[in-house]
């Protein structure tokens, strides 16, 4: 294919680790510039758990970082880990974040007949996507709802959290029952992509959860949240990269995912008292589009020929 199509560069993408072995071999055979797209870190503490595989991951990543013209990661935290791990290659390690597709949003907005609220008369927060039991543990959120209910700040029919395509529905049902907040929870099945975007646009707020054990990772959904231009309730470590994205967008208030008191306080202040303070700034929204990311990528690719 290289001889037939004559590309100007080779691109390989993890999480298939052997993709970087293939990229390295093709670079060796052709001399073309090679870009190693890691996205997330490969070898981490305790991952992979198998010691043999872990050692192989370290060997593969080290070879890639040292021989690729550029290595890309999707978050500043991941790039920082690798710059510290391979300081002699720091200048070749770059960040290329995920983004959203503007065309998809524009088409959805054109087809929508107004933006009727998800639950008329009830403030509704939407979590769109998988709720991982460890990486996005919602336990403290349900305790916070119990606190808000007990204090009278939320009432049945006036406040809802909708979980769309959460996958771990049984966990959510158990937490809702144990905290006595079933009336405030909606658990909904997966829907087509464009319908999911329309749902984001109609929500009163969008919920993102990321535990501190994922401080170097950012849920890709957050970029679609930004484009929806709805208030974003960030439940994450204030020192993590997820909070960093929100801060860059002008959303300066997040609550730790494991703190019921901080979560209930943020919900009360941001959605029941002053709901507009968690809306993203437009400049960040524009730069987070895939078009914006592509322009940045083009600059990086150009740099390897300069």
CATH architecture of the domain 2-96 equals: 3-Layer(aba) Sandwich (3.40)
298, containing H or E segment: helix 290-303
Q: H helices within 94-203, ranges in order?
A: 102-111, 139-150, 169-179, 193-202
Q: Which neighbouring-strand residues pair with 124?
A: 160
pLDDT, residue 277, reads: 75
Nearest alpha carbon to residue 144 among 106, 185, 107, 109: 185
Same CATH topology for 2-96 and 102-287? Answer: yes
Domain boundaries, the chain: 2-96, 102-287
% helix / strand / coil in the chain, to the nearest 5? 50, 15, 35
CATH domain 102-287 topology: Rossmann fold (3.40.50)
Round to whole Å and give the CA distance between 72 and 39: 6
Give pLDDT, residue 150. 97
Q: How many CB atoms lie within 10 A of CB 230?
A: 22
C-alpha 188/C-alpha 166 separation (Å) is: 8
14 to 37, 39, 43, 140: CA distances (angstroms)? 6, 7, 12, 33
pLDDT at 276: 66
Q: Provide the residue-wise pLDDT of the chain in tens; the chain has 306 residues.
A: 999 999 999 999 999 999 999 999 999 999 999 999 999 999 988 889 999 999 999 999 999 999 999 999 999 999 999 999 999 999 999 999 999 999 999 999 998 877 889 999 999 999 999 999 999 999 999 999 999 999 999 999 999 999 999 999 999 999 999 999 999 999 999 999 999 999 999 999 999 999 998 898 999 999 999 999 999 999 999 999 999 999 999 998 999 999 999 999 999 988 877 766 789 998 889 889 999 899 999 999 999 887
Q: How far apart are CA 123 and CA 197, in angstroms?
A: 18
């Amino acid at each position: 294919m290289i001889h037939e199509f004559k590309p100007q560069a080779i691109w390989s993408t993890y999480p298939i680790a052997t993709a970087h072995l293939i990229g390295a071999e093709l670079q060796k055979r052709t001399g073309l510039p090679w870009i190693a797209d890691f996205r997330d870190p490969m070898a981490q503490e305790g991952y992979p758990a198998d010691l043999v595989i872990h050692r192989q991951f370290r060997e593969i990543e080290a070879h890639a970082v040292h021989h690729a013209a550029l290595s890309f990661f999707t978050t500043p935290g991941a790039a920082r880990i690798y710059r510290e791990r391979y300081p002699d290659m720091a200048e070749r390690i770059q960040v290329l974040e995920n983004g959203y597709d503007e065309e998809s949003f524009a088409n959805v907005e054109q087809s929508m007949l107004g933006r009727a609220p998800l639950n008329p008369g009830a403030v509704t927060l939407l979590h769109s996507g998988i709720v991982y039991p460890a990486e996005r543990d919602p336990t403290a959120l349900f305790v916070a709802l119990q606190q808000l209910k007990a204090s009278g700040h939320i009432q049945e029919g006036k406040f809802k959290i909708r979980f769309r395509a959460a996958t771990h529905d049984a966990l959510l049902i158990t937490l809702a029952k144990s905290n006595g907040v079933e009336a405030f929870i909606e658990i909904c099945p997966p829907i087509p992509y464009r319908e999911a975007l329309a749902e984001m646009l109609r929500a009163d707020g969008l919920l993102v959860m990321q535990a501190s054990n994922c401080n170097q990772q950012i849920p890709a959904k957050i970029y679609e949240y930004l484009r929806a231009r709805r208030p974003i309730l960030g439940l994450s470590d204030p020192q993590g990269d997820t909070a960093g994205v929100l801060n860059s967008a002008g959303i300066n208030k997040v609550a730790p995912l494991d703190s019921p008191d901080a979560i209930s306080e943020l919900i009360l202040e941001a959605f029941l008292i002053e709901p507009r303070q968690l809306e993203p700034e437009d400049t960040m929204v524009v730069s987070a589009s895939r078009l914006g990311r592509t322009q940045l990528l083009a600059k990086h690719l150009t740099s390897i020929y300069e």
